[in-house]
C-alpha cells in the first residue's frame, strides 16, 4: 500500500472524529481500510510461512495452519 493511501486513511479518520464524513468519503474510507487489511493479512501469512519451529530433536518444522472453527 502506498504511503499516500495510508496518509489518506489517517486523514479521513481525523476528519471523521472532528466534522464527520460525507457518504462518498465513508465509502472511500471503507475501501481503503479493506485494501489495507487485505495487504496486511497477506504479508503476515507470508511471514508466518517462513517461520520454522525447532523440535526437541533439533530439527526444524514449518508452522501448520489450523482450520478455523467458525
Q: Which domains does the chain have, with CATH numbers?
A: 3-62 (1.10.287.540)
Mean pLDDT, rounded, of the chain:
94
Per-residue model confidence as pLDDT tens digits over 16-38 = 999 999 999 999 999 999 999 99
Cα separation, 62 vs 24, in Å, equals 44
pTM: 0.75
* Residue 64 pLDDT grade (very low, low, confident, very high; cuts 50, 70, 90): confident
- What mean pLDDT is predicted for residues 8-16? 96
Q: Give me the phi and psi of 18, to 5 degrees please.
A: -95, -65
Amino acid at each position: 500500500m502506498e504511503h499516500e493511501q495510508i496518509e489518506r486513511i489517517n486523514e479521513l479518520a481525523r476528519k471523521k472524529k472532528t466534522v464527520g464524513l460525507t457518504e462518498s468519503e465513508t465509502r472511500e474510507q471503507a475501501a481503503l481500510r479493506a485494501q489495507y487489511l487485505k495487504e496486511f493479512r497477506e504479508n503476515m501469512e507470508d511471514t508466518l510461512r517462513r517461520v520454522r519451529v525447532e523440535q526437541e530433536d533439533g530439527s526444524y518444522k514449518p508452522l501448520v495452519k489450523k482450520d478455523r472453527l467458525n
